[in-house]
Amino acid sequence: MASTTGLSDAQRRILETIRQIPRGRVTTYGRVAERAGLPRRARLVASTLRRVDEPDLPWFRVIGAGGRIVFPPDSPGFQRQSERLRTEGVIVERGRIDLERFGWNSSELPLLDP
DNA sequence: GACATGACATAAC
DNA sequence: CGTTATGCCATGT
């Protein structure tokens, strides 16, 4: 099936973790790495996402530390990510997202209605 | 194999 | 808010 071929175990674990991010929530590269059992390897999460093209992968739910979209503000990636997040109710402003509100914390509370 | 790059993170100043 | 340094390491040249 869709191209997990040539990926390391670590990379597969990363994708698996990303697939588990619930709709309407976001998390950071570093946190994905941690949850995948790869502390301090945020960069591997990034390079993996760059490499992999899986239509169903919720890549847009992965953002930078502090709640920032990491793409340059004028880039297509920035636009696409903002859009896809807004589509599922995440508030994105100037490329920033409130992690207190939309962050994926391991023990999950239901989404509060703002 | 050496060197550069990058969808990162954190700390320190 | 900004810059610099350091850790990290797969990928590309």
Share of chain A above pLDDT 70, in %: 89
Whole-number distance in Å between A10 CA and C12 C1': 20
d(C-alpha A10, C-alpha A105), whole Å = 22
* pLDDT over threshold 50, residue A27: yes
Contacts of A15 (CB under 8 A, 6+ apart): A4, A7, A48, A52, A54, A57
Whole-number distance in Å between A1 CA and B11 C1': 42
Are A39 and A33 within 8 A, CB to CB? yes
* pLDDT over threshold 50, residue A71: yes
d(C-alpha A38, C-alpha A83), whole Å = 29
Nucleotide nearest to A43 (CA to C1'): B8
What mean pLDDT is reported for chain A? 92
Q: What is the pLDDT of residue A35?
A: 97
Q: What is the pLDDT of residue A113?
A: 46
Return the percent helix, strand and coil in chain A, to nearest 5: 40, 10, 50
- C-alpha R_g of chain A: 14
How crowded is residue A42: how many other Cβ atoms within 10 Å of its Cβ?
19
Q: What is the pLDDT of residue A18?
A: 98
Q: Say what the pTM is.
A: 0.92
